[in-house]
Every structure is written in structure tokens, then in C-alpha cells.
């Protein structure tokens, strides 16, 4: 698993600063209150470009060739049935027949003051169904289900902020969800995990991790899908 931790401090006239401590934290928005699409946008637009290491490299995708687009419907989506849109679509303009489509589902984790972890896994099966329908209808070059585990971890019984995250055992219910067997064998599964270990908002302090659980198998993309990608490239949405 790839992982990045960061903390922010206000620079003053001091000659020494402490990082990953609670004493200098400020109350900020909780990650559990941020909408799914906003979390995805935040990750892809983060000024530190964590996506290069945690997303593109992890999935083996050339970031210089592919351009990401979000919540795409027309002209790619044929009808109003699932999936209603493509959460993430990666397009290589030089090779539109090698597009990568991703359906995203958020998995919230809450931790109470007794350090008990509660994972809301009820939406995983919905994400599996949407990804399966996307694969069956459009047969992109690669298809992924992306699960974003977000954890408000400030209540972890751990003094060090860097270690306030979910353990492997606590995430097994997501890693080994029984529903993955319903996915076509060509479909990949990718995990993005964001832990908020302090009262700071996640732009100031966070731990972000990623893991490709199942690699998507490259397919011969449907000709009709490629034609729709070419139509999309000609629209104002493609900038």
C-alpha cells in the first residue's frame, strides 16, 4: 500500500516547529461531512499532486497521456439506467480506444471516543452493480470500481497523529467484501483511503493511502464506445 502523511504549521519567527501534534490544531470541517464528488475533486486537484503517486502510478496509468473528467453523462451515457453517469473517465486523446472508466463509492468510517470503529459498507454493493452495468454496456478499455474509505480518526486512542488511522483488520470487511465476486473478471478494484487524524481540516493534516486490489484487464473497447468518446472530445466539456 502506498501512503502519504502531511501536516501544516503557521510559520512565525520561531526557529523550531513541532508537526503532527494536537496543540496547534484548529477546528475544521470533518471529512465525513464532505460529499463524495467533492472528495474526489479535492484529491485530484490537491496542490501537492498526490494523485500522481497514489493514483496514476498505482494503477499503472501514464499521467502525461491521460486527462481526467468527472461525472460524465452525455454523449457517453445511453439512457437513464445505471450507471447514470461516469464518475471518472480518463481519456488519451491520441488513443481514444484506450479509455479508462471508474465508478466511485464512498465508505465512511467513524470512530467513537472508546476507539470503536464503524464502517458503513451498505453502498459497496450499489457501487458493484453500477460498475458491472458500466462494463456490460460500454466495455471501456479498462473498468474500475474505486472505493474511497474516509475516516474521521481524531478520536483514536493514539497519541501520535501519524498512527491515527484504520488498522488492516478493521478494513478487512471492505478489502474482502463478498460482492466483488459479482464483478466480471476483467474489472479492477482500487482503494483510496483518507484519514483525518486531528481537528484540523484535511487540507492541513491528513494521511492518504491507496491500493490496487485487483488490476483491470485491458479490453478491446467497443467501437460504439470509442465513437462516443470521440464525440465527447468535440464538446465544450473537453477542455
pLDDT in tens, 18-55: 888 888 888 999 998 999 999 999 999 998 999 999 99
Assigned domain for 28 exists: no
Q: What confidence tier does 81 reach under pLDDT thresholds 50, 70, 90?
A: confident
Q: Is the pLDDT of residue 208 over 90?
A: yes
How many C-beta neighbours within 10 Å does residue 167 have?
10
Assigned domain for 105 exists: yes
Assigned domain for 23 exists: no
- Contact (Cβ atoms closer than 8 angstroms) between residue 183 and residue 128: yes
pLDDT score at 235: 92
Assigned domain for 205 exists: yes
- Contact (Cβ atoms closer than 8 angstroms) between residue 188 and residue 214: yes
pLDDT score at 78: 84
Q: What confidence tier does 58 reach under pLDDT thresholds 50, 70, 90?
A: very high
* DSSP 3-state of 230: helix
Region label for 121, one of left (φ > 0), alpha (ψ between -120 and 50) or beta (otherwise):
alpha
pLDDT score at 24: 82
From the list 218, 136, 131, the residue with the least C-alpha distance to 180 is 131
Q: What confidence tier does 109 reach under pLDDT thresholds 50, 70, 90?
A: very high
Residue carrying the nine cell digits 480518526: 153
Assigned domain for 20 exists: no
Q: Which of 5-19, 35-49, 146-160, 187-201 has the weakest average pLDDT? A: 5-19
Q: What confidence tier does 231 reach under pLDDT thresholds 50, 70, 90?
A: very high
pLDDT score at 191: 97
pLDDT score at 224: 96
Q: What is the average pLDDT across 131-142?
A: 96
Cell matching residue 227: 465513437
Q: Is the pLDDT of residue 167 over 80?
A: yes
Q: Is the pLDDT of residue 147 over 90?
A: yes
Cell matching residue 176: 474482502
Residue carrying the nine cell digits 466539456: 237
Cell matching residue 202: 484535511
From the list 127, 68, 129, the residue with the least C-alpha distance to 101 is 68
Assigned domain for 18 exists: no
pLDDT score at 52: 96
Q: Is the pLDDT of residue 159 over 90?
A: no
Q: What is the average pLDDT across 135-141?
A: 96
For every residue of 161-182, DSSP letters joined together read: GGG-S--HHHHHHHHT-GGGGG
Spatial CB neighbours of 92, under 8 Å, sequence gap ≥ 6: 62, 65, 66, 67, 98, 99
Assigned domain for 26 exists: no
pTM: 0.92
Share of the chain above pLDDT 70, in %: 100
- Which residue range(s) make up the domain with 56? 34-233
Assigned domain for 77 exists: yes
pLDDT score at 9: 84
Q: Which residues pair with 101 in a beta bridge?
A: 89, 143
Total count of domains within the chain: 1
Q: Is the pLDDT of residue 216 over 80?
A: yes
Spatial CB neighbours of 177, under 8 Å, sequence gap ≥ 6: 121, 124
pLDDT score at 11: 82
Amino acid at each position: 500500500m502506498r501512503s502519504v502523511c502531511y501536516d501544516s504549521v503557521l510559520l512565525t519567527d520561531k526557529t523550531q516547529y513541532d508537526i503532527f501534534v494536537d496543540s496547534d490544531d484548529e477546528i475544521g470541517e470533518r471529512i465525513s461531512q464532505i460529499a463524495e464528488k467533492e472528495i474526489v475533486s479535492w484529491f485530484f486537484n490537491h496542490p501537492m499532486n498526490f494523485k500522481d503517486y497514489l493514483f496514476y502510478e498505482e494503477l499503472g496509468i501514464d499521467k502525461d497521456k491521460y486527462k481526467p473528467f468527472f461525472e460524465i453523462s452525455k454523449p457517453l451515457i445511453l439512457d437513464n439506467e445505471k450507471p447514470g453517469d461516469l464518475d471518472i473517465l480518463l481519456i488519451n486523446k491520441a488513443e481514444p480506444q484506450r479509455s479508462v472508466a471508474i465508478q466511485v463509492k464512498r465508505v465512511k468510517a467513524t470512530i467513537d471516543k472508546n476507539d470503536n470503529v464503524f464502517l458503513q459498507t451498505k453502498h459497496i454493493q450499489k457501487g458493484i452493480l453500477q460498475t458491472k452495468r458500466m462494463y456490460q454496456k460500454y466495455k471501456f478499455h479498462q473498468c474500475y470500481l474505486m472505493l474511497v474509505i474516509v475516516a474521521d480518526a481524531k478520536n483514536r486512542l493514539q497519541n501520535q497523529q501519524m498512527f491515527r488511522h484504520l488498522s488492516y483488520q478493521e478494513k478487512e470487511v471492505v478489502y474482502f467484501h463478498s460482492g466483488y465476486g459479482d464483478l466480471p473478471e476483467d474489472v479492477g478494484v482500487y482503494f483510496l483511503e483518507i484519514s483525518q487524524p486531528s481537528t484540523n481540516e484535511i487540507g492541513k493534516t491528513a494521511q492518504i493511502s491507496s491500493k490496487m486490489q485487483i488490476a483491470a484487464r485491458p479490453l478491446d473497447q467497443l467501437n460504439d464506445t470509442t465513437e462516443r468518446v470521440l464525440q465527447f472530445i468535440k464538446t465544450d466539456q473537453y477542455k
